[in-house]
Amino acid sequence: AMHGKAGERPERSRAAVGRTARWLLLAALPLLAHCASAPRLDGVEATHAIPPADSTQLDQIILQRLGDDPGLSGVQLVQNNALAFAYRAGTAAAAERSLDVQYYLWQADFTGKLLAAELLRAAERGVKVRVLIDDLDARAKHDLFAIADLHPNVEVRIFNPFYDRYGMIGQWSEFVLRGTRLNRRMHNKAWVADNRVAIVGGRNIGDEYFGASEQSNFSDTDVVLVGPVVEQVSREFDVYWNSPDAVPVSRFEARKPKPEQLQKLSQAALEFSHEAGETPYIAALRDPLTRAELLKRAPPLVRVRDIRVLADDPAKIGAEEAEGLHPSLVLTELMKVVGQASSELLVVSPYFVPGRQGAANLIESSRRGIRVAVLTNSLAATDIVAVHVGYARYRRELLRGGVELYEMKRRAGDAAADDHISLTGSSRASLHTKAMIVDRRWAFVGSMNLDPRSANLNTEMGVLVDSEELAEQLREQFERNTSPELSYRVELDPKRGLVWHDRVNGRDRAVEDEPDASAGRRLGATLLRALPMESQL
């Protein structure tokens, strides 16, 4: 009898395995269905930026400001959040030929809606508008993008998209099947008007990037570009726009909008713009927003000849990590400049996770007698605690190696702070600028953080300029933001360990634990330290 029972177990086990396999197969069918719903890309036409000319208002303004030298470009740093909005809105209002915009995030909030309304108004004037948006954010706004795409002068493409456009089940199903690819995102930011003016930098489209949020705003930096460098930005835009990973929004198997929805959207955008004109935020920007007045009255441009737009290959999105394909072009070019540093290297990276090799490189530079200083977010200021945890693992090692570390405070509303943080009274701030200054000569501003995600997973872009004048402007910003009123200087004391130094109400202070961080943030950081997640940060 005992022998018979033992013999039944394998049969029961096989039956259980069979039932489990059938259930798994049934569960997998919806997942497999997503493989068949990829948008068809046959017949998608490549298009390119419309060349600059001399017929539009922007053409005339730029030609007057730069003169006849064909090799000369102009650069203007934009540190003020509200002016960063004004430059975008003003150039959109002045455009007569084309608007090409490329973003990682486009929020459907106050400033996001206003800029979208400006694009629709430009399209109504006959301006050709191309919008390229990463799908991390675009999927939630699919219907709005699809409706805007109905306009004959508007085309929207979604970069590295989810095939399923609605619901969490489909989204998570795709993560199971296509997680490696979907984890890679287009982090680039570019705004190009008439192929005459370009804006490149760290800002996405949303209230917190333009000083319009009541809760918290980013401290960020863009560059406004004019001259031949703008055509470099346009060429990089075209490379992404014509990539097989850029899918026209009309190609998805989602519900198709009706023509009357475009009319309703245009009318709603117009009404929203009129209502927004009565808000204190827009009232404060009334004059700069008058078409191209901001460009006419802007401070003198920094005139440069050696300026390069750096952008990763969009094929980086499809590269398997194990293959080591498509390394970050942006990082590669920056490291060439860093390798030539002889006196000073200043790094601004809100999400700073240098990795073993990156930390070793910074320490080696310091040991060669180069001043190496890094500004990043404090635990109290960061909007992503996990990234701070990744950075904190390298803090002691970097300090022992002679690297200066500064961490921006959460609150920047005191008298020492610039008024660029917010127009709305919010005093909470988080660093978002990505910049580098080498030997007071080379200046970089862009979208790239010094972290594994920027290096290996996302695509990035930025502008590298050989200009002592621009480098000095960025350096002044660095010194201001690392002042004890705005940032903590972290030091390693032989007896006390890590110590954070700053100044509060005119008095110097030294703290031996993450300063001004809430108990919840400290607990979260403690729990996250145990997780092996550095490659995703």
- What residues are annotated to the active site? 187, 189, 194, 432, 434, 439
Task: Tell me the two tokens of residue 108.
Answer: 């459907």
Distance, first Cα to last Cα, the chain: 60
Structural contact between residues 464 and 201, judged by C-beta atoms closer than 8 angstroms:
no
- 437 membership: H or E segment, kind and range: strand 435-438
Task: Tell me the two tokens of residue 116.
Answer: 């979208």
Residues 366, 361: Cα–Cα separation, whole Å: 9
CA distances in angstroms from 247 to 143, 311, 501, 515, listed in the order given: 15, 20, 50, 46
Residues 123, 153: Cα–Cα separation, whole Å: 5
Residues 164, 5: Cα–Cα separation, whole Å: 49
Nearest alpha carbon to residue 41 among 150, 134, 128, 161: 161
Structural contact between residues 95 and 101, judged by C-beta atoms closer than 8 angstroms:
no
Nearest alpha carbon to residue 130 among 109, 161, 107, 99: 99
Angle at 278 between CA 272 and CA 279, to 5 degrees: 90
Strand partners, 134: 159
Q: Which residues of 277-312 are buried (b: 16+ CB within 10 A; e: fewer)?
A: eeeebbeebeebbebbbbbeebeebbbbeebebbbb
Residues 273, 113: Cα–Cα separation, whole Å: 8
Nearest alpha carbon to residue 401 among 432, 427, 365: 365
Strand partners, 498: 492
